[in-house]
Amino acid sequence: MVKERKDRWATLSGIDLPSSDAPEDADWPRSPAGTPPYTRGVHPNMYRSRYWTMRQYAGFSSARETNERFKLLLERGQMGLSVAFDLPTQLGMDADDELSYGEVGKVGVSICSVEDMKVLFDGIPLDKVSTSMTINAPAMVLLAMYIVAAEEQGASPSSLRGTIQNDILKEYIARGTYVFPPGPSMRLITDIFAHCAKEVPQWNTISISGYHIREAGSTAVQELGFTLANALAYVDAAIQSGLEIDEFAPRLSFFFNCHNDFFEEISKFRAARTLWHDLLVERYQPSSEKALKLRFHTQVAGVSLTAQQPLNNVSRVTIQALAAVLGGTQSLHTNAYDEALGLPTEASATVALRTQQIIAEESGAADVVDPLGGSWFVERLTDEMYAQARALIEEVEHRGGALTAIEQGWPQQQIHASAYRYLNEIEQNERRIVGVNHGVMDEPQSIPVMKLDPSLGDRQTERLVALRASRDADRVKRALDAVRDAAGSDTNLFPPVLEAVRARATLGEIINVMKNEFGTYMAPSGF
């Protein structure tokens, strides 16, 4: 039992706050927080016991520069790390691949081998910090690099805590950084589930993401419905691979967007917990209580940030972050005000973190469990969100499930239609966006924008040349042959990938072996 943060809970005026999250009225319609179906929160005391994890997403340029940003954020009060990888890394390519040219280190950090991973976390004890990694198609390889980097620090895999996104279905729907066809991609995911259940038991093996679905233009209902439909597909695939529901479901996690509609977002989070509980009980009957608790990370809406009057984004981020807290998130990233212009500067990243700290320490929002519970409006909106999202999940199931629906392009078409409606409303001035079509004014460009070193690609290529010259080439060949053999059989791929990483095989070398066995995927045109 975690000790509560305070001995007395009161407002600034000294008015005592209730010790319970529910009134004494016997007709109260919701179960208390920490009890099924978890509408009011997954923990009985929520943030009274401890705050959500303040986990700022960071990654740019080289591993060394990103390491410095991580240390800065930790020094200023961040509680966990979250890694942004550059586009070549997300697509499983080394920095010296001809297709990587011009993209190395641009939208995240470039990681080509375990040597880069070791630099990324230099001086950061991996058995003491939790780390989230936004990586999907090559998730197995990057997690293997993290494990080997930790081993070489002296930490055991069983001590590691964190999350890999590892959610390939939303890549086909909304984001596009897929590599392999759907079948092999799902096999990689279930191999990760199976390996980590035994060897890395504290690791969240997937973060099923609605965030990118929302960034692509979906509504809140579509974000929730399509995300949980994808989650059901992962559960079914894991069970079909031979896993028991209680072996992997407790380590499933979720990742949601928090957009501008304050009450809708709060209601979405409350409905998500209830709906996930109900779906798992009805379909799978897990015996683990933890499997029934929908735990999620939140990032405020990047798509809502404006390049016009960028300081206004501080207000947008604050409102969205407060909605995430009132909705009961377990982890939160707040965007920097300058992200519509470029990567966050040190100053803007600090303001983003301070926004969370002010909500936690000064607003009183973290002192009450489910503060808006019992609001007629919020309760009604929670129920409506639940009903509409459930109807959407049933439509996906009617179409053969998430994977089949995605291959048919149906979720993509629904999201595109919603995005078109939203943009039309802005262009027709039916929806006001301050600085864009309301409150417009002439403004000087006075916000400093981060500039990246254009020579990074060359420097990464030099590191790769040096790595390949120093490693045991025969050992690398044997390790890559073992990956090829495992990919062509039903053997779990994770152990041979780990050995390849230990041998200093690069990300691109390992992924290319898999490409030769699995093939690659291109979405049908028009989606």
Give the Cα separation of 310 and 318 in Å (integer).
Answer: 14
Q: β-pairing, 161-164 with 203-204?
A: parallel
What three-state secondary structure class fits 253? strand
Q: Which residues contact 106 (CB under 8 A, 6 or more apart)?
A: 60, 86, 87, 452
Predicted pLDDT at 372: 94
CA dihedral 470, 474, 478, 483 (to 10 degrees): 30
Predicted pLDDT at 132: 95
Tell me which residue of 206, 182, 178 sits closest to 192, measured CA to CA.
Answer: 206
Q: What are phi and psi of 256, to 5 degrees?
A: -120, 155
Q: What is the pTM of this model?
A: 0.95
List the chain pLDDT tens, one digit each, 527 residues. Answer: 355 777 788 988 999 888 766 665 546 678 899 999 999 999 999 999 999 999 988 888 899 999 999 999 999 999 889 999 999 999 999 999 999 999 999 999 999 999 999 999 999 999 999 999 999 999 999 999 999 999 999 999 999 999 999 999 999 999 999 999 999 999 999 999 999 999 999 999 999 999 999 999 999 999 999 999 999 999 999 999 999 999 999 999 999 999 999 999 999 999 999 999 999 999 999 999 999 999 999 999 999 999 999 999 999 999 999 999 999 999 999 999 999 999 899 999 999 999 999 999 999 999 999 999 999 999 999 999 999 999 999 999 999 999 999 999 999 999 999 999 999 999 999 999 999 999 999 887 678 888 888 889 999 999 999 999 999 999 999 999 999 999 999 999 999 999 999 999 999 999 999 999 999 998 875 55
Structure tokens at 447: 């916000």
Predicted pLDDT at 75: 93
Q: β-pairing, 252-258 with 296-300?
A: parallel
**403-406 long-range contacts, Cβ below 8 Å, gap at least 24?**
403/169, 403/182, 403/186, 403/233, 405/229, 406/169, 406/172, 406/173, 406/182
Predicted pLDDT at 19: 73
Q: Which residues contact 318 (CB under 8 A, 6 or more apart)?
A: 355, 359
Is the preceding omega at residue 18 within 30 degrees of 0, hence cis? no
Tell me which residue of 206, 278, 273 sits closest to 243, measured CA to CA.
Answer: 206
How distant is the alpha carbon of residue 392 from its chain centre? 22
Q: What would the pLDDT profile of 394-429 be if each residue is shown by its tens digit? A: 999 999 999 999 999 999 999 999 999 999 999 999
List the alpha helices (DSSP H) in 436-519: 456-470, 473-487, 494-502, 507-518
Q: Which residues contact 444 (CB under 8 A, 6 or more apart)?
A: none
- CA separation, residue 279 to residues 215, 275, 400 (Å): 25, 6, 17
Which H or E run contains 258?
A: strand 252-258
The radius of gyration of the chain from alpha carbons, rounded to an integer in Å, stands at 23
Predicted pLDDT at 1: 39
CB count in 10 Å sphere of residue 173: 28
Length of the chain: 527
Sheet of 57-58: strands edge to edge?
57-58, 81-84, 130-134, 161-164, 203-204
CB count in 10 Å sphere of residue 389: 25
Which H or E run contains 117?
A: helix 114-120
DSSP code string of 189-241: HHHHHHHHHHH-TTEE-EEEE-HHHHHTT--HHHHHHHHHHHHHHHHHHHHHT
Give the Cα separation of 11 and 258 in Å (integer).
Answer: 27
Structure tokens at 282: 């009805």
Which H or E run contains 70?
A: helix 63-75
Three-class HEC string of 163-197: EECCCCHHHHHHHCCCCCCHHHHHHHHHHHHHHHH
What three-state secondary structure class fits 130? strand
Which CATH number is associated with domain 46-427? Answer: 3.20.20.240
Three-class HEC string of 353-410: HHHHHHHHHHCCHHHCCCCCCCCHHHHHHHHHHHHHHHHHHHHHHHCCCHHHHHHHCH
In contact, 99 and 112? CB cutoff 8 Å? no
Give the Cα separation of 182 and 175 in Å (integer).
Answer: 15
Give the Cα separation of 120 and 111 in Å (integer).
Answer: 9
Q: Is 432 exposed, middle or buried (0-12, 13-18, 19+ CB in 10 A)?
A: exposed
